[in-house]
Every structure is written in C-alpha cells, then in structure tokens.
Amino acid sequence: MNFVCDVLALARPEVRALTPYSSARMEAGAAPTMLNANESPWPPPGDDGRALNRYPEPQPQDLRQRLAGIYAVDSAQVLLGRGSDEAIDLLVRAFCRPGRDAIAICPPTFGMYAVCAAVQGADVIQAPLDKGFELDADAVLRAITPAVKLVFVCSPNNPSGGLVPLQVIDRMAAALSGRSLLIIDEAYIEFSGTPSAATLLQHHANLGVLRTLSKAWSLAGARVGALLAHADVVALLRRIMPPYPLPTPCSAVALAALDATGQSLMRERVAAIVSERERMAVALQTISGVRTVLPSAANFLCVSVENPAATYLMLQSEGILVRDVTRYPGLRDCLRISIGTRQDNDRVLAVMQAMDSATVEGTS
C-alpha cells in the first residue's frame, strides 16, 4: 500500500511537520491513581459514576469500535468528532494552504464546505449540479485545478436530495488519485436505502466518507459525527484536533443509542420517515401552488412553489418552520421541508392546501 504516501503528500507541509500537542490521556491511559492531568480527584455533584472530573478519552474506544462495526470499517479508519461538521473543518485545515489551495463543491449544496474554506483562506471552485440536480462527474473532473486538494460531494445532497451512484464515486476517486481527496458527505445515507461509499475505502486511499448521528440516529443534540478514511488520514487529522473533542456525556449517550435496541429503533424510524417522505411527495404534487417536488433520498423534500415567500410566512404563522433555500443557485423558488411525524406532515399539507383554496377563490 504505497499509495498512502501520495495522500499525505497532499496535506499542508506544516501540518505534516508539526509536533502535535500530547495530552495526558494520550500519553497514558487510566490507572488507579491519576495525578498526571491536573484534574480534581473528586467527582462533581450528581456525577452518577460518570467520572466527569476526568478528561475523556480523546477517541473513546468503545464508541469508535461500535461505529466501526456499524459502518463496516476498521476502527483505525474512524475519526470521531463533534458532528461531521468538525471533520469538514479539520480536512480543510489539514489539506488547504491559505491563499494557495482550494476545495471544489457542487452547488447547490451544503454551506459548511465553503464556509470552512473561507475561514481557512482557501479558494472554492464550483462545479454545479446539472439541470436535473444530478452530479456531472466529468464536469467536476474538468473543473479540478492543481490547487484543489479536497472535492466535497454530498450524497444524498442537501438541499436538493439527489443521490450519487457508487460507480460514479468510484470513478471519480480513481480519477482524482494523487491529486485530491474525494469526500463524500453521507449525512442522510440511511434514508437512501443504498450502500455507503465506505465500501469503496479499501480501493481508494484518497476517499473519505462523512457520517453523523445527527439525522437518522436522532442525536443532533449530542454532536457526534465521524470521518471514515484511510488510517493515515485519520492519524493526520488527529494531529490538529483539539485534545479532548468528545464530552463524556455525549459519547455515553451515543454509545447507548447504538446498542441492538437502538439500532432496530433507528431502522424503524428511518422506515417511517421514508414512507412519510413518499406520501408527502405525492400529496404535495396535488397542490396547485406546488410546481415540483425534487426526488429525494434524504429525510427532507425540496419543493418548488409558486410563491416561496408567502408559503414560508404562512407556514411560519401557523407555527411551522421550514427552510428557505431560495438563495441557492437553481433553487430560487424552493423550500426545503424536513419530514416530521405524520401529524407534523399533515399540518404542512393542511396549511398549503388552505393557501391553494384561498388563491383559487381570490382569482375567481
């Protein structure tokens, strides 16, 4: 596997060269008497056996192993962080030199890639999705300049909902080998019913896959996400990661939610969301103020409407928040509606149907 060096060669030289901070927990694990981290020897009130007076493990081993099992990768290929957002930031900081390097994105897409690039002083090359909001792999590859170190592809895409086939990802990773990393953001993959790009990791050292517990696993408040990548990329990112990224209560809650019961609950909930998504897609199409509902493999629908501003405000006045995505290229008249409970979804339909009748009456 000498392709490994190729990937690390893409990283910022100063990151490869730096001597990382070495925390007490990294230098030595646990012992009966721990006087190496300037912690308090007493647990706080209400500690309940959690040992919150101690710093957490930098990469909690039990959580890492559980996720490695669920994602079907090696635990050395898992980097745990505060949501997958943290991994996006770490990737940009490790691979993009300010003022010189760039990332590539496929708009309309998730905003964090460009924000992290801007903070780092890296350029953003745009290779837009085609008119049907599908990824044009050849257009992306043509847009890649030598400055591009990271290519972010979101699948299923937020906010348009489309999925990129694994063969396309496979082909792109091969084409980008030695030039840049291809990062597939799979925040919504559980709702797609298709396999993860993590199945391709063994073939491509320059591939990374972002996963999160924030969506399908109902844990947005716990802030736990992961990058799945070559073990050397994981090790590189750990060099620039803060020493104790995961609070003990957060990893404990995540581990508990990932047991066998939690896994079947997750699958049930995903099935419920998918079935509601299909019901909503059909029902929304029957509303005359709705132009199109984009095909979605995620837990939301991107809906093009006659009057996005009025629809947004009407839903809001009825206590329903949806996402205004009109600022995204190609989505000028779109709202992104997360799939909620059946009752939530029925309320959305009722408000939009009522707007419809009001419009019809107004014009007659």
Give 317-337 as a 3 state SS string: HCCCCCEECCCCCCCCCEEEE
Of residues 188 and 352, the one with the C-beta less far from ligand PLP: 188
**Which amino acid type is present at position 105?**
I
Percentage helix, strand, coil, to 5, in the chain? 45, 15, 40
Of residues 250 and 287, the one with the C-beta less far from ligand PLP: 250
| CB of residue 117 to ligand PLP, shortest distance in Å | 15
| CB of residue 185 to ligand PLP, shortest distance in Å | 5
Compute how many other C-beta atoms are within 10 angstroms of the C-beta atom of residue 344: 13
Rounding to the nearest 10 degrees, give the CA dihedral for residues 100, 89, 79, 190.
-120
| CB of residue 143 to ligand PLP, shortest distance in Å | 20
| CB of residue 62 to ligand PLP, shortest distance in Å | 20
| CB of residue 182 to ligand PLP, shortest distance in Å | 15
Spell out the residues 6+ positions from residue 232 whose beta carbon is closer than 8 angstroms to its own. Answer: 4, 7, 8, 205
| CB of residue 159 to ligand PLP, shortest distance in Å | 8
**Token pair for 49:** 């056996």
Q: Is the dihedral of CA 61, 62, 66, 67 positive or negative?
A: negative
Alpha carbon distance 292, 274 (integer Å): 19
Spell out the residues 6+ positions from residue 47 whose beta carbon is closer than 8 angstroms to its own. Answer: 53
Q: Applying CB under 6 A, which residues contact ligand PLP?
A: 83-85, 110, 154, 158, 185, 187, 212, 214-215, 220, 225
CB 56 within 8 A of CB 44: no
Of residues 77 and 158, the one with the C-beta less far from ligand PLP: 158
Q: Residue 67, Cα to own-chain centre: how many angstroms?
A: 15
CB 200 within 8 A of CB 153: no
Of residues 177 and 212, the one with the C-beta less far from ligand PLP: 212
| CB of residue 221 to ligand PLP, shortest distance in Å | 9
Alpha carbon distance 161, 134 (integer Å): 10
CB 52 within 8 A of CB 44: yes
Of residues 224 and 352, the one with the C-beta less far from ligand PLP: 224
**Token pair for 354:** 């009522």
Of residues 84 and 180, the one with the C-beta less far from ligand PLP: 84
| CB of residue 77 to ligand PLP, shortest distance in Å | 18
Closest listed residue to residue 73, CA positions, set 198, 165, 160, 242: 198
Of residues 172 and 352, the one with the C-beta less far from ligand PLP: 172
Radius of gyration of the chain (CA): 22
Of residues 87 and 280, the one with the C-beta less far from ligand PLP: 87
Of residues 91 and 355, the one with the C-beta less far from ligand PLP: 91
- Could you tell me which residues are beta bridge partners of residue 209? 184, 228
| CB of residue 302 to ligand PLP, shortest distance in Å | 12
| CB of residue 72 to ligand PLP, shortest distance in Å | 19
Of residues 110 and 133, the one with the C-beta less far from ligand PLP: 110
Closest listed residue to residue 217, CA positions, set 273, 170, 172: 273
Closest listed residue to residue 71, CA positions, set 223, 184, 210, 171: 210
